[in-house]
Amino acid sequence: MGFGTGDEFKLKVIDSEGSPGAAESALHKTVFEDHPIAVVGPIISKTASAVADECEQYKMPCLSLSQKSQITKDKSYVFSHSLNSEHIAKFLVSQAMQKGYRKFAILYPDD
């Protein structure tokens, strides 16, 4: 793959297996073997926290795709590209109130 300038880039896809330990091991391996410039993902909250912590330790930029609300807290190298449950809930409440609804419930995951 390339950007049209003759420069090539590589994209490595790694299965975290939905396990924080497997995600940490895979990240460690790829950091030292492949020397990536950044990490994108993971999506699942329990693996995202582990990867975010490791990326921060390695000073590796990480674009988290997780909806975990505090994933970037106290981190300089972790960025979020997803709306979290709090943002979605606030938007839904705002829309419902604009339509005149005053009683409603929102169910969302708290992970």
Integer CA distances (angstroms), 100 to 47, 90, 91, 103, 104, in order:
40, 15, 14, 9, 11
What local confidence, expressed as pLDDT, does residue 89 receive? 81
| pLDDT(9) > 90 | no
Q: Do residues 44 and 73 make contact, with C-beta atoms less than 8 angstroms apart?
A: no
Closest CA to 77 of 46, 11, 13, 31: 31
Element (H, E) at 79: strand 78-80
Q: Which pLDDT does position 92 carry in this prediction?
A: 86
Distance CA 1, CA 13 (A): 14
CA 67 to chain centre: 7
- 13-22, 55-64, 67-76: the lowest-pLDDT one: 67-76
Task: Judge whether residue 76 has pLDDT over 80.
Answer: yes
- Burial code (b: 16+ CB inside 10 Å, e: under 16) for 59-76 equals ebebebebbbbebbeebe
Q: Is pLDDT above 80 for 101?
A: yes
User: Under a CB-based contact definition with an 8 Å cutoff, are residues 42 and 48 in contact?
Assistant: yes
- pLDDT confidence of 57, banded at 50, 70, 90? very high
